[in-house]
Amino acid sequence: MPKKSVPAPSPAPALRPLRGTVIVTRQAHFNAAHRLHNPTKSAQWNTDQFGLCNNPRWHGHNYVLEVSVRGQPDPATGYVIDLTDLNALIQTHILSHCDHRNLNEEVEFLRGVIPSTENLAIAFWHQLAPHLPSGKLHCVKLYETPRNFAEFYGPDAG
C-alpha cells in the first residue's frame, strides 16, 4: 500500500500584538500578630482609640494581600508581568518578613510604624515598587478581615 504524502505544516500565522493597558493582580495570604498602639500617647488614649486592637498581648489576622501591576502586554509573551515573578517578589519582599510574625517587633521595615491596615498597604508598596521587572505597581490592597481592607495606589495618587 503506497504511503500518502503528508503536507508540510503551514507556517505559523504572524503574531498580532494587541495594544492596551491591562491591570493584573496576584493574591497572597499571610498570618501575623500586631498591636495598634501609639507610644507617644497615654495608655488611656490608646485604649480609647484602638479598643481591643490595643491588647498588650497582641492579636492576629489572616491577611489577604492583592498586588496589582499595570502596563502594556509584552508582544512576545502577552504578559504585563509574569505572575510567577510577581509571586516571587511578594514572597521575598513581604511574606518572608511578615508571615507568622509579630509586625510590631519582628519586621524591620515596619519599625516605628503603627501597623494599621492602611500603613501596611503603604509599607508593602514601598517594599515592592523598586523591584518590578516590568509594568508599574498600580495598587496594593490588604484585607485584614473579609470586611475590612485598605487600598494604596502609590505616593503620587490623587
| Boundaries of every domain in the chain | 22-152
Overall pTM > 0.85:
yes
pLDDT at 38 over 70: yes
Which of 53, 106, 118, 131 is flagged as catalytic? 53
Mean pLDDT of the chain: 94
Rounded Cα gap, residues 53 and 66, in angstroms: 23
Is 144 catalytic? The answer is yes
Which of 29, 59, 100, 105 is flagged as catalytic? 100
Query: Does domain 22-152 bear CATH number 3.30.479.10?
Result: yes
pLDDT at 3 over 90: no
CA 34, 83, 65: angle at the middle one, nearest 5?
20
Q: Cα–chain-centroid distance for residue 79?
A: 18
Cβ neighbors of 143 (< 8 A, separation 6 or more) are 63, 64, 65, 66, 149
pLDDT at 85 over 80: yes
Q: 118: number of CA atoms within 13 Å, CB side?
A: 3
Which of 97, 98, 139, 144 is flagged as catalytic? 144
Strand partners, 30: 63
| Residue 2 confidence (pLDDT) | 64
Is 93 catalytic? The answer is no
> For the segment 102-148, what is each residue's pLDDT rounded down to a tens digit?
999 999 999 999 999 999 999 999 999 999 999 999 999 999 999 99
